[in-house]
C-alpha cells in the first residue's frame, strides 16, 4: 500500500487534509511536532484522537529548539497573541520559517519510510498572512526536497486546501466525516477556546459561513 506522511497539528485544516489523503488510498503516517507552543498539551491530545480516527501510524517529534529561536508569540510567552481582529501583514504569531522546518523533517521521515507523498494543511487565501503557507513556497521547497534526497526518492508535497476558504474547509470536513469536534484551533487556551485570537476568529468565520455550529467549548 502506498504511504503518505501527513503533518497533523490538531487543528481543522491538517485534520481534513489527512482525511483527504486517507480517501486517496494512502496508508497514513501521522506526524506531529511538539514545538513548545502555548497550547501543545491540547494539540497533542487532538492529534492522538484524530490519528486514532484515521487508523494512522503515529509519530511525534520534539522540536523544542523553536522556543530557543522564539520571535513568535506562540513560543515566547512574553509576547501577546493579538485578539483585536485579523489584519493585513505577518502577525506576531508567525514562527520564523516554521513550515520550511516541518516539511524538511517530514521529508526526511518520508524518505526513510518510502512514502511518496507528504500532505500538509496550509491555506493561502483565507489565512493569517504567513509567508510559509503559499503555493509558491510549496513549489520551491518541493523542488529542494527532491533535489536534496536520493535519486530514487520522489516525494510529492500535497496541499489540497491551499486555495480553500475556512468556510469551504468546514463544509468539506463535514462531507468527509472529519470529527471537527476533536480539533483545536485556539492559539492561547487549552480548555475553553478564547474566540478572539486570529485562529479562533478564522475558525468561527468558517463555521458561520457554513451555517454549522462549532461544538468545541468557548469562553
Asked whether position 198 contacts a copy of itself by CB under 8 A, the answer is no
Which residues make Cβ contacts (< 8 Å) with residue 111, sequence separation at least 6? 149, 150, 153, 155
Specify the residue for cell string 488510498. Answer: 25
147 sits near a copy of itself (criterion: CB under 8 A):
yes
If the CB atoms of residues 24 and 144 are measured against a copy of itself, the closer one turns out to be: 144
**H helices, E strands: number in the chain:** 7, 5
32 binds a copy of itself (CB under 8 A): no
CA-nearest of 56, 153, 148 to 114 is: 153
Grid cell of 9 as nine digits: 497539528
Q: Which of 58, 79, 83, 104 binds a copy of itself (CB under 8 A)?
A: 104
Nearest Cα residue to 110 out of 11, 13, 26: 26
Q: Is position 144 an interface residue for a copy of itself (rule: CB under 8 A)?
A: yes
Among 2, 41, 52, 65, binds a copy of itself (CB under 8 A): 65
> What is the distance between the alpha carbons of residues 124 and 126, in angstroms, rounded to a whole number?
6
CA distance to 79, 123, 163, 172, per residue, from 135 (Å): 29, 9, 9, 20
Residue 66: name the closest of 99, 109, 19, 88 by CA: 99
CA-wise closest residue to 214 among 192, 189, 198, 190: 192
Work out how close the CB of 103 gets to a copy of itself at its nearest, in angstroms, rounded to a whole number. 8
- Beta partners for 62? 34
Tell me: does residue 44 bind a copy of itself (CB under 8 A): no
> Which one among 3, 36, 92, 149 touches a copy of itself, defined by CB under 8 A?
149
- Which of 132, 168, 198, 214 touches a copy of itself by CB under 8 A? 132
- Per CB under 8 A, the list member of 61, 171, 209, 216 interacting with a copy of itself is 61
**Contact between 109 and a copy of itself per CB under 8 A:** yes
Shortest distance (Å) from residue 153 CB to a copy of itself = 8
Does residue 180 bind a copy of itself (CB under 8 A)?
no
105 interacts with a copy of itself by CB under 8 A: yes
Per CB under 8 A, residues contacting a copy of itself are 59, 61-66, 68-71, 90, 94-101, 103-105, 107-109, 111-112, 131-132, 134, 136-137, 140-141, 143-145, 147-151
Amino acid at each position: 500500500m502506498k504511504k503518505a506522511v501527513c503533518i497533523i497539528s490538531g487543528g481543522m485544516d491538517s485534520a481534513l487534509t489527512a482525511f483527504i489523503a486517507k480517501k486517496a488510498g494512502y496508508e497514513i503516517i501521522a506526524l506531529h511536532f511538539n514545538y513548545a507552543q502555548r497550547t501543545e498539551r491540547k494539540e497533542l491530545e487532538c492529534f492522538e484522537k484524530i490519528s486514532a480516527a484515521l487508523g494512522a501510524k503515529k509519530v511525534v517529534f520534539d522540536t523544542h529548539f523553536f522556543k530557543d529561536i522564539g520571535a513568535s508569540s506562540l513560543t515566547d510567552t512574553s509576547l501577546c497573541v493579538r485578539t483585536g481582529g485579523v489584519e493585513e501583514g505577518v502577525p506576531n504569531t508567525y514562527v520564523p520559517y516554521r513550515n520550511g522546518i516541518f516539511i524538511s523533517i517530514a521529508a526526511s521521515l518520508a524518505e526513510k519510510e518510502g512514502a511518496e507523498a507528504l500532505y500538509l494543511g496550509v491555506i493561502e487565501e483565507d489565512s493569517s498572512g504567513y509567508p510559509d503557507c503559499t503555493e509558491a513556497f510549496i513549489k520551491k521547497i518541493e523542488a529542494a526536497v527532491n533535489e536534496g534526497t536520493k535519486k530514487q526518492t520522489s516525494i510529492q508535497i500535497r496541499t489540497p486546501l491551499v486555495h480553500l476558504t475556512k468556510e469551504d474547509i468546514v463544509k468539506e470536513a463535514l462531507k468527509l466525516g472529519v470529527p471537527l469536534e476533536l480539533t483545536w484551533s485556539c492559539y492561547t487556551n487549552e480548555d475553553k477556546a478564547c474566540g478572539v485570537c486570529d485562529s479562533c476568529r478564522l475558525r468561527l468565520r468558517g463555521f458561520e459561513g457554513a451555517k454549522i455550529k462549532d461544538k468545541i467549548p468557548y469562553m
